């Protein structure tokens, strides 16, 4: 889990629609502000869920990115052919991995079905401004859930009422067909991976329970068809699958429960967490949630015995070491945090977010002996996390220290140019284009013409924000 040194990251994310901004679950304002959440453990679990489904759907080579939205509504959606969004509410409400796997399979069905592309075509054929406003509203509704869609769905509904009823019926009827089609595709993907469709069915039953008493609502006024309609169709397909009674592997259920506990630990009030996970619950997930809640309520010393107990129980779990390092680092003990973060990296070398946290701790010691290790970890992390503004910020600081310490003027200039370029990258991925260009101009002046770094600085200088058609 990453600390959040940039308090304005949520603003940048919303304004510029750029990725790579690390928002910490431990930030005091995160739960209230919403936005995107980055957490190595949660993302790793979602990748585990998604990989077989994406392979079965023929999407494994299409760079599908799955993002976590800090929203307690049970919801997931896709906005194009490459980005899938899952709410924290879905992860926290889901009792089994299979329920989330079913959701991923359904959303993959939207991608393979080309639903979003066809919806865009519908919109492009709209000629009047009023109708365009309406259809844009429907697109927003499509991103929300049928139940508990939150502000996004509400905004879409409000816009939809601005157009003609005939066009609204046409597009929403189309949405109904899409949902049923995505359900059928999900069953196909689940069968191909020998997984049950029970979780998808259970999710739809959950949605159905939320619609009790609203049978009179016009189904055309829903971004998804009313769940009872889908429920009967889906039940027939799911129960006839030869894999309907297949259970999730026990070890996967453990990982699922740990992620749920982590999310509750960071996103709920500590006292609420203690009530949800009382001392009588001796599961590892309960210990995890209580350790996090204890840290948030009483500080690092109070939480440390619980974290140590978790590490003793499961010493090969990188995220317990990561969490211990995070607690220490955030409490002003950067030097003490380093060995634990190093251990987390050793146990999970492919997780760039943990390497970025390690780099922050190394820099936090103010020890020049740690600068080269900082740069090495950041270079590895940024090769995977290519749009991480936080990572580039740390890289700029590390190269700045190298430049300040360099005795030869040539070396000093080279290091400082690297620092300027890293700063330019950070501003660029924050959406602060003017500052990015200023830093890129300074970097370019100190870099060798034609080198990859010089060309990257030149690319930032030449970049122009796309304009609306």
User: Domain boundary at 217, 250, 283, which?
Assistant: 250
Question: Residue 318 domain-assigned?
Answer: yes
431 shares a domain with 334: yes
Three-class HEC string of 375-444: HHHHHHHHHHCCCCHHHHHHHHHHHHHHHHHCCCHHHHHHHHHHHHHHHHHHHHHCCCHHHHHHHHHHHH
Question: Residue 469 domain-assigned?
Answer: no
Three-class HEC string of 226-281: CHHHHHHHHHHHHHCCCCCCCCCCHHHHHHHHHHHHHHHHHHCCHHHHHHHCCCCC
166 shares a domain with 293: no
Task: Report the alpha-carbon distance of residue 106 to residue 200 in Å, rounded.
Answer: 8
Domain that holds residue 194: 39-250
- What's the token pair of residue 48? 């585990």
Higher pLDDT, 64 or 210: 64
Residue 176 — pLDDT band, cuts 50, 70, 90?
low
Question: Residue 135 domain-assigned?
Answer: yes
**Mean pLDDT score, 365-393:** 96
Residue 152 — pLDDT band, cuts 50, 70, 90?
very low
Question: Residue 26 domain-assigned?
Answer: no
Higher pLDDT, 163 or 84: 84
Residue 91: closest CA among 54, 116, 66, 63: 66
Q: CB neighbours (10 Å) of residue 335?
A: 16
314 shares a domain with 241: no
Question: Residue 424 domain-assigned?
Answer: yes
Question: Residue 33 domain-assigned?
Answer: no
Higher pLDDT, 133 or 158: 133
Tell me, what's the pLDDT at 220? Answer: 35
441 shares a domain with 336: yes
Q: Please list, residue by residue across 338-365, b when 16 or more beta carbons sit within 10 angstroms of its beta carbon and e when fewer do.
A: bebbbbbbebbeebbbbbbbbbbbbbbb
Task: Report the alpha-carbon distance of residue 80 to residue 67 in Å, rounded.
Answer: 13
Higher pLDDT, 20 or 85: 85
Backbone angles phi, psi at 78, to 5 degrees: -120, 145
Task: Report the alpha-carbon distance of residue 207 to residue 149 in Å, rounded.
Answer: 11
243 shares a domain with 106: yes
Question: Residue 257 domain-assigned?
Answer: no
Tell me, what's the pLDDT at 257? Answer: 98
Lowest mean pLDDT among 32-41, 104-113, 139-148, 257-266: 139-148
**Mean pLDDT score, 151-161:** 36
The predicted model scores a pTM of 0.80
Lowest mean pLDDT among 65-79, 128-142, 257-271: 128-142
Total structural domains in the chain?
2
374 shares a domain with 282: yes
CATH of residue 341: 1.25.40.10
183 shares a domain with 79: yes
**Mean pLDDT score, 332-342:** 97
189 shares a domain with 136: yes
225 shares a domain with 131: yes
DSSP 222: S
242 shares a domain with 199: yes
Question: Residue 11 domain-assigned?
Answer: no
Higher pLDDT, 192 or 162: 192
213 shares a domain with 349: no
Half-sphere exposure of 209 (CA within 13 A, CB side): 7
pLDDT tens-digit series, residues 200-245: 999 888 877 765 555 455 443 344 555 667 788 899 999 999 999 9
Residue 26 — pLDDT band, cuts 50, 70, 90?
very low
DSSP 95: S
Is 60 exceeded by the pLDDT of residue 9?
Answer: no
Query: Which one of 36-40, 169-173, 281-285 scores highest in mean pLDDT?
Result: 281-285
129 shares a domain with 239: yes
């Amino acid at each position: 889990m990453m600390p959040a040194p940039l308090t304005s990251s949520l603003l940048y994310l919303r304004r510029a629609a750029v990725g790579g901004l690390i928002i910490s679950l431990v930030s005091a304002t995160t739960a209230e502000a919403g936005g995107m959440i980055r957490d190595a453990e949660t993302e790793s679990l979602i990748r585990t869920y998604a990989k077989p489904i994406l392979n079965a759907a023929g999407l494994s080579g299409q760079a599908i990115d799955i993002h976590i939205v800090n929203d307690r509504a049970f919801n997931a959606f896709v906005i194009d052919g490459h980005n899938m969004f899952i709410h924290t509410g879905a992860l926290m409400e889901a009792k089994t991995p299979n329920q989330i796997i079913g959701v991923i399979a359904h959303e993959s069905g939207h991608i393979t079905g080309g639903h979003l592309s066809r919806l865009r075509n519908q919109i492009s054929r709209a000629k009047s401004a009023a109708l365009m406003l309406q259809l844009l509203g429907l697109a927003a509704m499509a991103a929300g859930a049928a139940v508990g869609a939150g502000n996004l769905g509400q905004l879409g509904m409000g816009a939809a009422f601005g157009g003609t009823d005939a066009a609204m019926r046409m597009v929403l009827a189309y949405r109904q067909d899409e949902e049923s089609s995505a359900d059928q595709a999900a069953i196909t993907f689940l069968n191909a991976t020998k997984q049950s469709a029970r979780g998808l069915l259970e999710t739809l039953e959950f949605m159905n329970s939320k619609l009790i008493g609203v049978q009179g609502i016009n189904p055309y006024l829903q971004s998804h068809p009313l769940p009872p309609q889908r429920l009967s169709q889906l039940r027939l397909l799911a129960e006839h699958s030869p894999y309907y009674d297949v259970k999730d592997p026990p070890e996967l259920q453990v990982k699922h429960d740990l992620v749920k506990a982590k999310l509750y630990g960071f996103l709920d009030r500590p006292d609420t967490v203690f009530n949800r996970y009382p001392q009588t619950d001796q599961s590892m997930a309960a210990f995890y949630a209580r350790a996090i809640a204890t840290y948030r309520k009483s500080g690092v010393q109070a939480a440390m015995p619980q974290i140590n107990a978790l590490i003793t129980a499961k010493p090969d779990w990188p995220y317990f070491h990561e969490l211990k390092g995070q607690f220490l680092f955030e409490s002003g003990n950067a030097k003490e945090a380093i060995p634990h973060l190093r251990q987390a990296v050793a146990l999970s070398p492919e997780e760039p977010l943990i390497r970025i946290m390690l780099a922050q701790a190394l820099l936090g010691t103010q020890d020049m002996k740690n600068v080269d290790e900082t740069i090495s970890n950041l270079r590895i992390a940024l090769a995977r996390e290519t749009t991480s503004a936080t990572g580039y910020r740390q890289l700029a600081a590390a190269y700045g220290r190298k430049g300040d310490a360099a005795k030869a003027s040539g070396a000093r200039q080279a290091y400082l140019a690297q620092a300027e370029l890293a700063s330019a990258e950070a501003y660029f991925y924050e959406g602060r284009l003017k500052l990015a260009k200023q830093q890129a101009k300074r970097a370019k002046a100190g870099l060798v013409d034609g080198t990859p770094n010089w060309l990257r600085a030149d690319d930032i200088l030449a970049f122009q924000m796309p304009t609306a058609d």
